[in-house]
Structure 1
Amino acid sequence: MTQNSGQGQYGGWGGTPQWGYPAPTAPQPGVIPLRPLELGEILSGAFATIRAHWKQLAGVMLAVTAIVLPVMGLAVGVAVAAVFEHFEPVFNPPFGEEPPAEDVAALLVAAGVLFVVLLVLGLFGMAVVTALCPAVLKEAVTGRPTTFRVMWRAAVRRAPAVAGATILGGLIAGLPMIAALAVGIPVVVGSVAAADSGPAILGLLPVLMLAALPVTLWLTTRFGLASAVVVLEEVGPVAALRRSTALVRGAWWRIFGISLLGGMIAGAIGWMMQLPFNFIGTFALIPAMAEMPEDGGGPSGGLIAGLVFALFLVFFGAAAGQMFQIGFTQLVSSLLYVDQRMRREGLAEALLAELAVAPYAAPSPAPASPPHPGDPTGAQ
């Protein structure tokens, strides 16, 4: 987007023009009117973005799933193959004997490495999907079309910064809970070891956790717009957290309430999306269970096929519901960012000025043609 003179440090999506608010009847080139938004307009704008750009959203999400899940499966297979010989000594040792320490250590190391690999892969997939939603919303607000390739590149390019902002914001917001655990667990464990654990001591940890929870929620809401800032203003994680804090200041309760409501709506719809797959998967097992041998023999091929089909449906339904929850909540968060910018920084006027200029951009001049013979003016 273009930068207008006198807009301050930020321009376009990162701009801070000092003009007044738009007229009450605001134009709507995209999914929302270009003026400060109400609750219903934020929620309907998220649904409208999904309807208008579902191909780009679903395409990128499916591409992420198609990349991340096979790599996760490969990592699990490699880890299991590497320590397969240690399973028998650990999980089925001779009667009365303890598992060998070297076998236990090998399994623990493999489990730790696998956990880190899966965590990194999952975080990458989550970061791409999180970066995708503001990138799509940027085009949805202005009513401009986009493509899968453009959205994929935009999401992958900003995914590392989004992951950094998510991790840093989560660590800062989680510090009160970590501090409560660091204080409460040693006290409770020490009291239990000293046989002096009364009801007051045992209830200390829940009390500390409840005391830390409001601070964690306060910090989480203050950093809730950081992902949108990373994508739409193209800044780093630390700058995004600071910018989110500045945008949320003075509107904490409103942003917290709308974010909570958006999360509840996303959770309910995600659960309803999973329900049919769970029902179909459960009923698919009934015919297979009827083929279960009564003599205690091994499972039949039909039972194995039914179990695999049921697990696939449950997993697919869970993945679809989870993707919708992530996408909808991130779209609501991004719309809250746009709303705060329009309320405080005149983003609506900057977008209207850009949309007014863009269609009337002067075309590039055509190459000059040689004059026609016998025409002294050179006209064709």
Structure 2
Amino acid sequence: MNDSPGWATPGSSPSDGEGSHGTQPPAGNPTGPGDSKWSAEQPPPGQWSSPTPGQTPPNPQQPPAAPQPGAGWGSYGGGYPPPNGGGQGGWGYPAQAVKPGVIPLRPLGMGEILDGAVTTMRKHWRAVLPITLVVAVVVQLATLLLQKYAFSDVVLDQSSSAPLDDQIDALGSLAALTAVDGFVQLIASIVATAMLTMVFSRAVLGHGSSIGAAWREARPQLARLFGLTLLLGIGSALLFTVLVLPGALAGQGALAVLGGLVALGLILWLWIRFALASPALMLEKTTIRKALTRSSKLVKDSWWRIFGITLLTSLITGIVAALIVLPLTLVGGLVFGGGLEGMAEGSGATSWGYLIMAAIGGVIALTITMPIQAGVTVLLYIDQRIRREALDLELARAAGIENYGTTTPPTGG
């Protein structure tokens, strides 16, 4: 492993029955067959539970024995103490883990993942904010121009007397414009996600980053990331069509609705299952197929946890975006959109003042929320690899921490 933000592609995860990743352990790290990645300081694997009354907690002066090969891979944290408060209050584990960057090198709690994303934005704002600001400006400018010069010319007459051909043409034009707007947003978000992934991966090691360095690291994988995103989008659309279309063609509304609900459930399940494919693709420099496989293995047995953290992140960023966008949009409508009457009729929605105010709100909201969402995804990927593959050893070496895993690690800020 080197000090670059990307990490070498690991071999099969320990959950597949292999205990190493094809890398050498740190000097002095006692290893046995199949457990070369485990620190001698780690407690034996097993489900974390409260101590049995009458039992004495482990002696903090005596490091627990190293885990046995092949045992405990499905248990909490691969044998680590719990992230929130674990090791404190007499449990006998170190109170703090090594923290070379924005997160401690151990399994993370939900709060630590969110805090790591926000901390990276704060400490490395010179790299993070310009990336998201440029992307947000491009996205909002494209949306503004389309709304001003294209969407306003599309008249969708829903009256029963409107010719069917005119309605079909209007719907087609609206769909085409929406597709153009979505494509611009897709390209911009892919570029931002790729570059932010590199910034966050360096922040975990305590390394600074620059826009130029993030671009150089991300550029070779951009085409694959675009392909991955497109594949997931097309797959979701096809799945929805296959399950809804039979009921719609048969004229069975209830069957179509049922198919739609099943499709949404499957799409959600697949979305979480492949949620870590993007960071795997970027940081492991792998292919689309291998990235999907890696995500599936890392998410296995942790679907609900990752779903909960992802949902909470979406709720938080959605609330933050709404608190920024809605007031500016309301002011734009009242001042430039003809007041409440113009807003109700929709006549003010194409005025320059209203569109500019809405775009400003969108730029601010995207600039703030985009790095949080990207950061949580990257940190979830790192957290899952720490839990399943002892990636903390690799990260410690890349951060320049000597003898990590051979003795009780020093605490870091």
Taking structure 2 as the reference length, what is the TM-score of the superposition? 0.64
Amino acid of the structure 2 residue aligned with 1:332: V
Question: Partners in 1 of 2:238 and 2:393 — Cα distance?
Answer: 40
Residue equivalent to 2:130:
59
Question: Partners in 1 of 2:140 and 2:330 — Cα distance?
Answer: 24
1:203 counterpart SS class: helix
Amino acid of the structure 1 residue aligned with 2:38: W
Residue equivalent to 2:86:
none
- After superposition, the C-alpha distances for 1:336-356 in whole angstroms (9 at most, x for unaligned) are 101001111111111112223
After superposition, residues 268-283 of structure 1 pair within 5 angstroms as: 268-283=319-334
Question: Partners in 1 of 2:258 and 2:193 — Cα distance?
Answer: 34
Question: Partners in 1 of 2:256 and 2:110 — Cα distance?
Answer: 37
- After superposition, the C-alpha distances for 1:65-89 in whole angstroms (9 at most, x for unaligned) are 4556667788999x97xxxxxx89x
Q: Aligned pair 1:226/2:289, yes or no? A: no
Question: Partners in 2 of 1:17 and 1:281 — Cα distance?
Answer: 61
Report the alpha carbon displacement of residue 7 of structure 1 after superposing the two structures with TM.
Answer: 5.1
Residue equivalent to 2:242:
179
After superposition, residues 1-380 of structure 1 pair within 5 angstroms as: 1-2=1-2, 8=21, 18-20=37-39, 21=42, 24=94, 25-67=96-138, 117-188=180-251, 201-285=252-336, 307-356=351-400
Report the CA distance shift for 1:330/1:98 in structure 2 as closer, same or farther (over 3 A).
closer
Amino acid of the structure 1 residue aligned with 2:336: L
State which drifts further: 41-50 or 20-29.
Answer: 20-29
Report the CA distance shift for 1:111/1:330 in structure 2 as closer, same or farther (over 3 A).
same
1:206 counterpart SS class: helix
Bigger Rg, structure 1 or 2: 1
1:208 counterpart SS class: helix
Counterpart contact for 1:17–1:345, Cα < 8 Å: no
Report the alpha carbon displacement of residue 127 of structure 1 after superposing the two structures with TM.
Answer: 0.5
Question: Partners in 2 of 1:323 and 1:152 — Cα distance?
Answer: 18
Amino acid of the structure 2 residue aligned with 1:167: L
Report the CA distance shift for 1:215/1:351 in structure 2 as closer, same or farther (over 3 A).
same
Query: How many residues are treated as equivalent by the alignment?
Result: 317
Counterpart contact for 1:281–1:314, Cα < 8 Å: yes
Report the CA distance shift for 1:357/1:322 in structure 2 as closer, same or farther (over 3 A).
closer
Amino acid of the structure 1 residue aligned with 2:130: G
More helix by share: 1
Report the alpha carbon displacement of residue 139 of structure 1 after superposing the two structures with TM.
Answer: 1.3
State which drifts further: 131-140 or 221-230.
Answer: 131-140
2:250 counterpart SS class: helix
Determine which structure has greater relative contact order: mean sequence separation of CA pairs < 8 Å that are 6+ residues apart, divided by chain length.
2
Give percent identity, aligned residues only. 31
Counterpart contact for 1:133–1:334, Cα < 8 Å: no
Gaps of 5+ in 1: 81-86, 189-200, 293-298, 359-380
